[in-house]
Amino acid sequence: PVEPRIHSVYEQSTGTWQHIVADTNSPHAVIIDPILDHNAVGNGIGTTAADKLLNVIRDKNYTVDRILETHANSSTRSSAWYLRTQLREQRGDPARLSIGKSVANIQRLWEKKYGVQESDWFDSFDSESWDGDSFFIGGLQAYVIKFPGEPAERSGYMIGGNIFVGDETSRQSSSTEKQSSRRSYNDFCPTPASPVIQRLMNLPQNYRVYGAKGPLALPKDLDGYQPRPFATIDEYRR
């Protein structure tokens, strides 16, 4: 398959990965699983993580076609509406939103902050997608994957040899747990028991599965490790 350019940005306060996936032959791109970070001041939320994505988009001069979410998450809040507002105001990109109900409260927050009316964002949403649906990122074709047995809002996106599936792919999910550099490799390995991963086991072994919570995979020598936002199908099979 034709491969995209992927920018994965790790957000330390939530232990979460967010991704930009871009067509290598055009400026078109999508954002996957963007989040608002935890702000220690006042126990609130911040936009530092989202602003890092905006910096990449500006530096690479990307045109964002869609903002995608794979799942509803009670532990983190989506920055989808904030990003769409910023992209529209700064770059004129009217990004479509392919997101779940989890973002509804955040939409209300931005309505109040920016004076946005419901009619302004209601038409920004993609209609419900189905397993096997596809769309284009420039000349790059992306496919929707639905996971049986998972919550109704859980989706995945296959783009080239890369699958973006959210946060139920790894045993390692705490941003504080990763601080130790001497632990068993199995503490960080992806777990094949997840229904999400079971759906993907027949894919080629070199395909990469990207999650939201991280780090997803680490080298067996944990000294000086670098967290990785993905694990290969082969690594899940081991």
What is the average pLDDT across 228-236? 84
The CATH number given to 5-237 is 3.60.15.10
pLDDT at 144 over 50: yes
The band of 86, judged by pLDDT with boundaries at 50, 70 and 90, is very high
pLDDT value, residue 64: 96
pLDDT at 172 over 70: no
The band of 52, judged by pLDDT with boundaries at 50, 70 and 90, is very high
Query: With the C-alpha atoms ordered 216, 26, 103, 14, is the resulting torsion angle positive or negative?
Result: positive
What is the average pLDDT across 139-160? 82
Which one is predicted more confidently, 41 or 53? 53
Q: What is the pTM of this model?
A: 0.78
pLDDT at 88 over 70: yes
Distance CA 232, CA 148 (A): 21
Q: What is the dihedral of CA 52, 58, 60, 65, to 10 degrees?
A: 90
Which one is predicted more confidently, 105 or 162? 162
Q: What is the overall mean pLDDT for the chain?
A: 75
Which one is predicted more confidently, 79 or 106? 79
pLDDT value, residue 109: 57
pLDDT value, residue 183: 38
The band of 191, judged by pLDDT with boundaries at 50, 70 and 90, is low
